[in-house]
Each structure stands twice: as C-alpha cells, then as structure tokens.
Amino acid sequence: MIRTVAAIVVCLVSFAVWAQVSTTESGQFPILSVCEALSNRLKYDGQMVRIRAQNTGTTESSNLIGDHCSGSLLTEGYRWDWIISLASPGAGNTIHPINFRFDEASMRRVFLKYEQLRPQLKPHECLVITVTGLFETHEEWTWTRLGTPRGFGHLNGAMAQLVARTYDDVEVVPNCGM
C-alpha cells in the first residue's frame, strides 16, 4: 500500500515539475498578436515568440491570421495579407538555424481541447490558439517569375512564418478577438 501511494506521489510530482518547466520555458517568450508580430517583423526575425491568433488551414497550408489589424503591410509596393504561415522545424524552408524539435504531444493536447470546445461555440465566438516558435521573415525580398515577392507558405502568400515548437493552448474568445 505504501509503495503504491509513493509511486502515485512520484508520478504527480514528476508531472507537476514537467508542467512547470514547460510553462516557464514557453512563458519566457513574448505573446504577440499577428498584428504586433508583422508590424515589427524585423525586430522579431530569428526570435522565439508566442503568437496568439485564429488558425486557418487547408490540406496545403496552415496560417495564423490577423483579421482586425489596421493599415496595410507593404514591401516594395506589394500588399500582403495579415497572416503568418505555420511551418515545421524539419520542413527545409527555414532561413535561421533551428535548434528544437516540434512537440507533437502538445499539438495532440491542443487539438483534443479544440475538438471539445468547437461544438460549444456561440455564433459571435471563435477559437484562438497560442503557438510558440521561431519567427522568420525576409529583410530583403527576392521575386518570383510572376512578379510577386517570395514569401512563406502556400504560394508564397505570407510575409512571415512561425516555425512551430509547441502548441500551447486554445481558447474561446468572444467577438472573435476584436
């Protein structure tokens, strides 16, 4: 009986220490909106950050979107949408050295929570995720044959990308983050 109780206590303490280290490590990075990150893109280029935003995706890409950003994003006359493409550390399309691996267990935890929250959404609410990763953008742009800047993600459509390390949370937000 004492061994069983001791084993349970060790497991609980181990989990608590792991959760605290995990939270502390991710917690040291600034939490930014898509609007903040892209408005100051060169400041955050090559930095670990946490982005909190709505997530959209298709079979070809996944993006964090900033629906309510003010102003336009212009580079050399090209107007960008307020989106950050999500990338994997091993995708081969990064521009900075990557010294971490993607935490797949974090994605599963957040996806399970997402699936639980989604049916409860009211019409004026949305789901917002927080993702920790390496923020990347170009300081100087190269151009495609079509005359568009070479960005990130599907069809080079994003001005920046977040190379995901962990999915931290998903939450319901009233008025879709307005």
CATH number of the domain that 139 lies in?
2.40.50
pLDDT value of position 175: 82
In a domain, 89, yes or no: yes
Within a domain: 135 = yes
The residue with greater pLDDT, 20 or 97, is 97
Question: pTM above 0.85?
Answer: no
For residue 111, what are the domain limits?
A: 30-177
Element (H, E) at 163: strand 160-174
pLDDT of residue 131: 97
**HEC string of 67-99?**
CCCCCCEEECCEEECCEEEEECCCCCCCCCCCC
Q: Count of domains in the chain?
A: 1
Query: Is 64 inside a domain boundary?
Result: yes
Q: Has residue 7 been placed in a domain?
A: no
pLDDT in tens, 27-74: 689 999 999 999 999 999 999 999 999 998 888 889 999 978 988 888
Percent of the chain with pLDDT over 70: 84
Give the per-residue pLDDT at 141: 85
Alpha-carbon distance values, 50 to 104, 113, 133 (Å): 17, 19, 6
Single out the residue of 135, 126, 129 nearest to residue 168, CA to CA.
129
Compare 18 and 112 and report the one with higher pLDDT: 112
